[in-house]
Chains A and B, each alone.
Chain A
Amino acid sequence: MFQRHLKPLDNNDFFLFGARGTGKTWFLEQWAAGRDVLWVNLLQDAEFLKFSRRPGLLRELLATNKPARSLVIIDEIQRVPELLNEIQNIIESPETRSKFRFALTGSSARKLKRGGGNLLAGRALLNWMFPLTHRELGASFSLEKILQFGSLPRVCTAQNDAEREELLDAYVQTYIKEEIRVEQIVRNLDPFLRFIEVAAQMNGEPINYSSIGRECRVDSKMVERYYQILEDTLIGNFIEPFHTSIRKRQSQRSKFYFFDIGVANALRRQLRSAPSPHHYGYGRQFEHFIILELIRLNSYGRRRQRYTYFRTADGAEVDLMVKPAPGNSSPSKSNLQKP
């Protein structure tokens, strides 16, 4: 398996957010090896039912704390956001404050935001897990494979391309089934299915909500809502246009990049065609790859850089403007362009 570069800071409670299949659970299994852990997996129906009916059960379990455990891992916390209130009480109570450390994973921020999830009032640090970076892949890295299949861990360890295709098709189906249909995020699934395919085709392009709306036969407000769903369920990131004025920045079009190239290719049904370096699409996928690598490594390295893009009136474009974290250097910008 691959050595992940995520390093949660010691002695802090933390969230670990990341899309499904990025390796959060596997990472925590390695990270927690040798410690006494109470592990709650809310993806399992029995656990989900138990804790959703009675969130206070967590406090009761920890009050007896037999066998003695000091680390509590809760997988997919967004499925029972009410547990966060219990955890906050445990963290704030003088009797239990220093007894337990919590690690909480989530593959969607949507329910936490909308379900009144409190993110523990800033007491827990936020960490993010992504598909594998080129540094994590090391000798297994192949640019051509990444541009076709992305770098979800299971996809990277698949035996052959046919298996990679099946895994990615299944991933897309699971996302739609689990995140969208079961959680009832959208009432009418058909327009969303049309939207997500168009959004994948428009990956990395400035978003035109009206034109996408026309193509999906929904209004532009609904397209905005759909994009928000993708972002909340950690399926991608917005990159805003660069402008020194916040007002002008808001009036220009953001871009949206899917979190994994293979997933984007599966959604736009392009898994079976390997990208050719002489094709226009290759350059776009290479740009997608570089931006994803920077987002991931920026997060793992706690660089706190801010990324925007810049496009002139005549269509010339700087793919990425990089603003270093405050305090890292003068308020400066680098720009990145691929020839």
Chain B
Amino acid sequence: MSDIEINKLRSYARDLRADRSLFISREDRPRNVDGVEILPWTLGINSVLEE
């Protein structure tokens, strides 16, 4: 997914007034794209379930 697409989705999240948006990846390590943190899926699942 490109940075443009990520930013587009972030703006949708704002429009939807989501408390937070979460990007997850199949990779093992977190990474940061243009200030957006992309979590490994195991952490992503834990984070969702803690909502």
Contact = CB atoms under 8 A, between A and B. Distances in A.
Interface of A: 134, 143, 242, 277, 286, 290, 293-294, 297-298, 301, 303, 305, 310, 312, 316, 318, 320-322, 324, 328-330, 332-339
A294 B49 contact: yes
Contact of A337 (B16, B23, B42): B23
Contacts of A290: 24, 41, 44-45
B41 to A, nearest CB: 6
A332 B49 contact: no
A334 B13 CA distance: 8
Interface centre among A324, A329, A332, A333 (most CB of B within 10 A): A333
Contacts of A277: 26
Given A290-B41, A294-B48, A333-B16, A316 B22 contact: no
Nearest to A328: B51
A152 B10 CA distance: 36
B19 A334 contact: yes
Contacts, number: 89
A310 B6 CA distance: 15
Given A312-B12, A337-B9, A294 B22 contact: no
Interface in B23-42: 23-26, 33, 38, 41-42
